[in-house]
Amino acid sequence: MVYQAITTKYLSPTNTKGARIRATSASGISKTVAYDHALDAEGNHLAAARYLVAYLNWPGKWVQGSMGERGYVFVHVSAHAPAEGFTHTDTGFAKEPATRVR
């Protein structure tokens, strides 16, 4: 099964609603949770993503990454799935690929 990435975004308070965090799947399904001032910013984004994951019933391990001012992104990782993509181990600068795509 391929899971979609989840993004989270801080929503400023309005005249009628307090601060919130919205978690949205790549397909546009979203859930919004109230900002919990007992948590830090990262914890609030994590809580919103967990709420959406529970709603969508997407079990498993998720990892979190920052997108700066745009919020956070969460992706599903599975120890049982074959690795697709790459693992970066070189600590030097990026090198040009051996073959260029034209």
Return the pLDDT at 79. 57
User: Would you say the pTM of this structure is higher than 0.85?
Assistant: no
Question: Residue ranges of the alpha helices (H) in the chain?
Answer: 41-56
Return the pLDDT at 100. 47
Spans of all domains in the chain? 6-77
Which value, in Å, is the radius of gyration of the alpha carbons in the chain? Answer: 17
Q: What is the pLDDT along the chain (102 residues), one digit of tens a residue?
A: 677 899 999 999 999 999 999 999 999 999 999 999 999 999 999 999 999 999 998 888 888 888 888 899 999 886 555 555 444 444 444 444 545 444
Return the pLDDT at 94. 47
User: Beta 20-25 vs 6-11: how paired, if at all?
Assistant: antiparallel
d(CA 86, CA 92): 16
* Closest by CA position to 20, among listed 45, 39, 38: 45
